[in-house]
């Protein structure tokens, strides 16, 4: 249903699952394991996996903190998009990578829920992509000291919000890892 012409493929988009980003986040090991299972399934089913990696003044490119967690290893040939803003599309090569793959639907997982995941979901949806948020494969750190809800509440609210998004010619959904459909029925 995407509004993007001739873009019938799906890609798994793994956002910012980097050492520093996921250190100490809510249910880190469970979320990383869910992402690893999703990535393996995508590879087995021939669905592209696209990696997004953030850097900024607090997360130096090339540092150990910047590296993708050791449980997740991008394979040769899998696109890696470097970004500096929350929205993975903003001032990056993501759109051209996805266009080249014929992708009109994104299955999104990663970190952090209340920043880069939300920004990327909105960025994709407003650009015409169908989006599937993997409800048990995104996470956030504890920001309650700054007045934010608990990470569990942030995740639950994001899942609720995206489960009910609608727009002409596009669809949004939230599903658990075990229920992700990578290929639409013909």
pTM: 0.97
Other Cβ atoms closer than 10 A to 101: 16
Are the CB atoms for 6 and 98 separated by under 8 Å? no
- Written as six digits, the tokens of 24 are 């100490």
Of the candidates 9, 19, 4, 3, the residue with the CA atom closest to the CA atom of residue 107: 9
Per DSSP, helices labelled H in 6-53 are 19-22, 28-44
Per-residue pLDDT of the chain (186 residues; tens, 9 = 90+): 788 888 999 999 999 999 999 999 999 999 999 999 999 999 999 999 999 999 999 999 999 999 999 999 999 999 999 999 999 999 999 999 999 999 999 999 999 999 999 999 999 999 999 999 999 999 999 999 999 999 999 999 999 999 999 999 999 999 999 999 998 654
């Amino acid at each position: 249903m995407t509004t993007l012409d001739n873009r019938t493929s799906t890609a798994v988009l793994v956002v910012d699952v980097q050492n520093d980003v996921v250190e100490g986040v809510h249910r880190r090991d469970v979320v990383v394991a869910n992402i690893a299972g999703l990535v393996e399934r995508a590879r087995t089913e021939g669905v592209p996996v696209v990696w997004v990696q953030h850097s900024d003044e607090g997360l130096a490119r090339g540092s150990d903190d910047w590296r993708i967690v050791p449980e997740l290893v991008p394979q040769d040939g899998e696109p890696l998009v470097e970004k500096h803003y929350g929205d993975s599309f903003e001032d990056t090569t993501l759109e051209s990578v996805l266009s080249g793959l014929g992708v009109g639907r994104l299955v999104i997982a990663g970190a952090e829920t209340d920043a880069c995941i939300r920004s990327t979901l909105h960025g994709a949806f407003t650009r015409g992509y169908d989006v599937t948020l993997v409800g048990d494969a995104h996470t956030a750190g504890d920001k309650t000291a700054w007045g934010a809800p608990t990470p569990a509440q942030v995740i639950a609210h994001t899942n609720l919000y995206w489960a009910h998004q609608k727009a002409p010619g596009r669809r949004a959904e939230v599903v658990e890892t075990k229920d992700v459909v990578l290929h639409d029925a013909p």
